[in-house]
Amino acid sequence: MGASAWYWLVLLGGGLALEGTALYYQYILHYGPCVLCIHIRIWVLALVLVSLAGLAMRRSRPGRLVVQALVVVCLAGLTERAWLLLAVEVGRVQGECSFASGLPAWLALDRWFPWLFQVQEACGVTPPLFFGVTMAEALLPLAMGLLALNLLLLLAGILRGRRA
């Protein structure tokens, strides 16, 4: 699957769709992002960039394995932040949010691209998407499913290499 351009295009398109949805909710529906939302956007941006690299390196088995491992790292980070966002939303975790992005000075995305990465609200309830399901409730299973799928793809690629 990792050798297919379609796989990388789907990952790329999915990441862009997630970023687009976030911007739609921010600028059209006026739901400002919290610090956890910004962290999620950063992980999604990393996934988009890694997907571009995967598209370019899909014909190289070693390159594909490295990029697939980076996809797993991005999705693990996304899953962790989505879990924390949902935990904050349902009141299981408190004190995890502030108006500071927590980004190091060498990666000041909130200053370089404030329209995308600036914290505007405190964490709490995320906006509803459909049928009463909130963004946090929808994002966590999506991230977990993608992480599981990509872990399997990475393991299959590693095991296939051992047999060859």
Tokens of 141: 């299973």
DSSP 28-46: TS-----HHHHHHHHHHHH
> What is the structure's pLDDT at 162?
64
pLDDT classification of 73: cutoffs 50, 70, 90: very high
Instruction: State the number of CA atoms in the 13 A half-sphere of 19 facing the CB.
Output: 19
pLDDT(117) > 60: yes
In the chain, the domains with their CATH numbers are: 5-163 (1.20.1550.10)
Q: State the average pLDDT over residues 132-137.
A: 93
Query: Which residues face 134 on adjacent strands?
Result: 128
The reported pLDDT for the residue numbered 60 is 87
Q: What is the mean pLDDT of the chain?
A: 91
Please say if the pLDDT value at position 95 is more than 70.
no
Q: How far apart are CA 24 and CA 1, in angstroms?
A: 31
Does residue 164 register a pLDDT over 60?
no
Identify the burial level of 80 via C-beta atoms within 10 angstroms of its C-beta, where 0-12 means exposed, 13-18 middle and 19 or more buried: middle
